[in-house]
Structure 1
């Protein structure tokens, strides 16, 4: 079966990519010591401010430490983490609890007791009960949607300040009874006599009915797990296991250096409720060696796959929150924003063969919308679902054939320079709580602009369903 999947992938239209050298965007020659310092003079470029459009700014953002599921957060509930992120944002900005117009929060794996988790977390953090709150979901770009939904509300005069964020809690995902068991349990409520109840039990219950429905990170339309898609994509783009492991090692090494240098300062120090445990680091950052990584077996397509636990993002618990305002409102409240939030796009494509290629489709579109070229961008922050996924996106962006065949463009956009990409690590190392990652990407992009002296940042991410998101940020002037 595994061999069949890879063979089919290699003989699809994407197999034309096999003509590209596997090292075209490999990471063998990459330095893992690129962590740029502060106080670099900002380049002088045009501003993306547009007449008739309000300037929207990212004031500040925070996140809980991102932890591997089943570790220090395992006894909490998701709204505990969301509340902590909102409370941390209040503490960092001295934001009055009645000073925002709306709160929008992303969440993917929903806890049924707190279906509108935005509201529950906001009330728990002490925000005014007069502030409307709503929850959004679009897989791994859910907090991206939270941010851009708020931007849309600002542009339509629904307010001038809002909080956006996201939370994911994989330590306690809902596990359902089988459909047959659910039917039995619901019909039991209507049975009036013991005989009727026994009759229903005889009709509905079986050993098969007793088996629970376990959750999986899988596409409903294709019934394929994201890991399988990552493996197939890496095979189609001829990305080797060594390249994937090297990129993953780069991510962990850069995240480790950035963390120790104090650059990940959007990360809160958090005391786990009900314990004396203080959490101040992301516990998935682990600098390994190529020899150690090579020992791991394929995680999804065995024995021929190349995606392993070492070169894939891991199930993560965590939450994020950011404060977004009009520039005028931020000035009125005495804030010094981090960055302007400029143009953005959402894209979608085939969820079978191109599930994880959102950044490749989104990047040229957002550059075109902003009137920029790839060389204008100083900072790139791309979501790392799998090492093979991000390297596939690099190859797609750097291919005239792919751009012409699938995007309808005359020529390639080009791939970001690795000297500008994810220099503080990424989702492979820091972690990926699905709905919280978008805010982390935005904050890392803004903070890197400040430290590296750049003017424009581009963030991009893939998501389930074949979706993708890309956005341009502009550094706020000193």
Structure 2
């Protein structure tokens, strides 16, 4: 006789019915991730599904959700195999959550994890669900390889000929296959519209804004030092679940210094000649990892005895014309933040923490320079005065992507959990999240406590 289905899922509370004008506050309860790792290292034989399941199960264990039906799990991956068309649902089915938990896949390049949180938050705010989980995963070690396009077209035609029983046409088609057609199509780190890699795009922007090599190396060294200090203090312990024998981010270099980074040669922007400044040390590496964040209504947090670390107050998504509009590929956050600030009656200085994703040190510094520039703020943003400078001592205080690495879709969940914990420890305050993304897009958000 089949085992009796678990009753825990059936007892999950119904979302409160909300008046159309009622918008509920969305609480950040916490997060979890696995250690991030450099591509083709400790996770070389591990899939996106395995990594995201590990991150999710770690969250389930931490918050007592085994067998529970969550309102929804929303996550995604930038690089995934065709077989992973329903990745997040498959992860849920293989996790400790109730299989009755619905799941949705999304993808917006490096903004995926943060966009997943927005989708969950919207449903909580509108009273459709009581709690949900957002996240992302990515691996460049287990990257999808596609059949060469010429071979693919021949095989499709051959299949049609075979279905019609046309043996002559079938043989003729198969004789067209050349040895070179057997080489697979690999994922390309380049923008389809320009053919330039993200790094080469940012190299142009970094040069345009006059960001020095020393400034980039200083930011990179500080990121490694801050993350190393956080690990040594045990600060990361309740945010990370060991996985596959790995306990800490393996890209982290605790002994990183400006002097050591200065010895590296530029790897991006070689078209700039001697003016190139972006190296492997002040750019994020290809990497593998997964992260998730738990969001809930205040009522659900109270019912379950969960401590609310912070509230997701607002968010904004922007895009720029990097093809014909003369703007840098990764400059969209520079446009998104002022829109969000205006909507909330805030200034750029009204934050206790700034979590700015470090895709490249040059990207962070270009964005900060743009906000300080009167011409940019007036001509591009339509502002009467510059947004101004930030207190750099409040920037990425526990390290960021240059040190932890950047598995594309997993960065958003990492940052949400980090910032929420910082605000919880402070007891009150406000934090800004900013993430640039491929395709000339950017996602930003405000957390408060």
What TM-score does the superposition give when structure 1 sets the normalisation length? Answer: 0.84
Match of 1:25 in 2: none
2:80 maps to which of 105, 110, 114: 110
Match of 1:429 in 2: 403
Task: Using the TM superposition, give the Cα deviation of residue 207 of structure 1 relative to its aligned residue in structure 2, in angstroms.
Answer: 4.7
Match of 2:171 in 1: 198
1:248-263 alignment runs, 5 A limit: 248-263=220-235
In 2, the alpha carbon distance for the partners of 1:238 and 1:454 equals 36
Task: Using the TM superposition, give the Cα deviation of residue 415 of structure 1 relative to its aligned residue in structure 2, in angstroms.
Answer: 2.9
SS of the counterpart of 1:134?
Answer: strand
Task: Using the TM superposition, give the Cα deviation of residue 300 of structure 1 relative to its aligned residue in structure 2, in angstroms.
Answer: 2.5
Match of 1:21 in 2: none
1:43-192 alignment runs, 5 A limit: 52-189=22-159, 190-191=161-162, 192=165
Per mean C-alpha deviation after superposition, the further-off stretch among 108-117 and 296-305 is 296-305
Match of 1:8 in 2: none
Task: Using the TM superposition, give the Cα deviation of residue 91 of structure 1 relative to its aligned residue in structure 2, in angstroms.
Answer: 0.7
Match of 1:308 in 2: 279
Match of 2:332 in 1: 358
On the 8 A contact 1:269/1:279 being kept in 2, the answer is no
Task: Extract unaligned runs of 5+ from structure 2.
Answer: 1-20
SS of the counterpart of 2:355?
Answer: strand
On the 8 A contact 2:341/2:347 being kept in 1, the answer is yes
Match of 2:264 in 1: 296
Match of 2:8 in 1: none
In 2, the alpha carbon distance for the partners of 1:202 and 1:99 equals 54
In 2, the alpha carbon distance for the partners of 1:296 and 1:66 equals 23
1:372-451 alignment runs, 5 A limit: 372-451=346-425
On the 8 A contact 1:319/1:436 being kept in 2, the answer is yes
Match of 1:268 in 2: 240
In 2, the alpha carbon distance for the partners of 1:293 and 1:394 equals 22
CA deviations 1:97-124 (Å, max 9, x no partner) are: 3241111112111222121211011111
CA deviations 1:225-253 (Å, max 9, x no partner) are: 10111110110001122221121111111
CA deviations 1:332-377 (Å, max 9, x no partner) are: 1111111111011111112343211132212222222222222321
On the 8 A contact 1:150/1:162 being kept in 2, the answer is yes
SS of the counterpart of 2:229?
Answer: helix
In 2, the alpha carbon distance for the partners of 1:111 and 1:365 equals 36
Could you say what the CA RMSD is over the residues aligned between the two structures, in angstroms?
1.7
Per mean C-alpha deviation after superposition, the further-off stretch among 107-116 and 260-269 is 260-269
On the 8 A contact 1:379/1:454 being kept in 2, the answer is no
Per mean C-alpha deviation after superposition, the further-off stretch among 278-287 and 352-361 is 352-361
Residue 326 (1) aligns with residue 294 (2): no
SS of the counterpart of 2:349?
Answer: helix
In 1, the alpha carbon distance for the partners of 2:379 and 2:424 equals 38
Q: How many residues align?
A: 419
Match of 1:42 in 2: none
Question: In the superposition, relative to structure 1, how do residues 375 and 366 fare at CA in structure 2: closer, same or farther (>3 Å)?
Answer: same
Residue 232 (1) aligns with residue 204 (2): yes
Question: In the superposition, relative to structure 1, how do residues 473 and 271 fare at CA in structure 2: closer, same or farther (>3 Å)?
Answer: closer
Task: Using the TM superposition, give the Cα deviation of residue 453 of structure 1 relative to its aligned residue in structure 2, in angstroms.
Answer: 4.4
Task: Using the TM superposition, give the Cα deviation of residue 127 of structure 1 relative to its aligned residue in structure 2, in angstroms.
Answer: 2.1
CA deviations 1:100-151 (Å, max 9, x no partner) are: 1111112111222121211011111132222211110000010111100111
On the 8 A contact 2:70/2:97 being kept in 1, the answer is no
Per mean C-alpha deviation after superposition, the further-off stretch among 328-337 and 257-266 is 257-266
In 1, the alpha carbon distance for the partners of 2:143 and 2:402 equals 21
In 2, the alpha carbon distance for the partners of 1:214 and 1:118 equals 23
1:284 maps to which of 239, 245, 251: 251
On the 8 A contact 1:351/1:464 being kept in 2, the answer is no
Match of 2:9 in 1: none
Task: Using the TM superposition, give the Cα deviation of residue 220 of structure 1 relative to its aligned residue in structure 2, in angstroms.
Answer: 1.6
On the 8 A contact 1:266/1:443 being kept in 2, the answer is no
In 2, the alpha carbon distance for the partners of 1:144 and 1:290 equals 31
Task: Using the TM superposition, give the Cα deviation of residue 164 of structure 1 relative to its aligned residue in structure 2, in angstroms.
Answer: 0.7
What TM-score does the superposition give when structure 2 sets the normalisation length? Answer: 0.89
In 1, the alpha carbon distance for the partners of 2:249 and 2:143 equals 21
1:330-349 alignment runs, 5 A limit: 330-349=301-320
On the 8 A contact 1:65/1:267 being kept in 2, the answer is no
In 1, the alpha carbon distance for the partners of 2:268 and 2:178 equals 31
